[in-house]
Structure 1
Amino acid sequence: MSEVNLPPLPPIGGETSGRSVVDVLAEQHREALALTERLTTGDYDKQVASVLVATLSRHLSAEEQYLYPAIRTAVPGGDEIADRELAEDRDLLMLLSGLERGEEPGPVAEAIRRHVAADAEELFPLLEQMVPAEDMIRLGNRVETAEEAAPTRPHPRTPSRPPWNKVVDPAIGVVDKFRDLITARKTYVRDL
Structure 2
Amino acid sequence: MSSAPLPPLPPVPGVTDDELQPAGRSMIEVLEEDHDRLVRLCSRAATEPAASDVLVATLARHLAAEQQYLYPAVRSVLPEGPAIAERELAANADLLVALRRSHSTTDGAALQSITERIRQHTHRAATEVFPALRGRFSNGELVRLGNRVEIARSAAPTRPHPGTPSTPPLDKIVDPALGVVDKVMDVLSCRTTWEEDL
* TM-score normalised by the chain length of structure 1: 0.93
Q: How does 1:105-184 map to 2 (within 5 A)?
A: 105-184=111-190
Question: SS at the partner of 1:3?
Answer: coil
Query: Kindly, what percent of the aligned residue pairs are identical?
Result: 49
Give 2:80's aligned residue. 77
Q: 1:151-191 deviations in whole A, cap 9, x for unaligned? A: 00000110000000000000000000000000000000011
Flag as ranges the 4+ runs of structure 1 deviating above 3 A. Answer: 8-11
Q: 1:45-98 deviations in whole A, cap 9, x for unaligned? A: 431110000000000000000000000001111000000000000111112112
Give 2:66's aligned residue. 63
Contact 2:5 2:72 in 1 (8 A): no
Give 1:97's aligned residue. 100
**1:122, distance to aligned residue in structure 2 (A):** 0.6
CA distance in 1, matches of 2:29, 2:96: 23
**How many residues are matched?**
187
Opposite residue 3 of structure 1, the aligned amino acid is S
CA distance in 2, matches of 1:145, 1:89: 20
Opposite residue 160 of structure 2, the aligned amino acid is P
Opposite residue 92 of structure 1, the aligned amino acid is L
Opposite residue 62 of structure 1, the aligned amino acid is A
Q: 1:92-146 deviations in whole A, cap 9, x for unaligned? A: 1112112211233010000000000011111100111311211111110000000
Contact 1:46 1:100 in 2 (8 A): no
Opposite residue 79 of structure 2, the aligned amino acid is P
CA RMSD between the two structures: 1.4
Give 2:3's aligned residue. 3
Structure 1, unaligned runs of 5 or more: none
**1:147, distance to aligned residue in structure 2 (A):** 0.2
**1:16, distance to aligned residue in structure 2 (A):** 1.1
Structure 2, unaligned runs of 5 or more: 13-19
Contact 2:41 2:55 in 1 (8 A): yes
> Which deviates more from structure 2 when the two are superposed, residues 129-138 or residues 68-77?
129-138
Contact 2:27 2:146 in 1 (8 A): yes
> Which deviates more from structure 2 when the two are superposed, residues 19-28 or residues 128-137?
128-137
Opposite residue 78 of structure 1, the aligned amino acid is G
**1:9, distance to aligned residue in structure 2 (A):** 5.2
CA distance in 1, matches of 2:154, 2:5: 22
Give 1:34's aligned residue. 40
CA distance in 2, matches of 1:186, 1:95: 20
Contact 1:9 1:16 in 2 (8 A): no
* TM-score normalised by the chain length of structure 2: 0.91
Opposite residue 21 of structure 1, the aligned amino acid is M
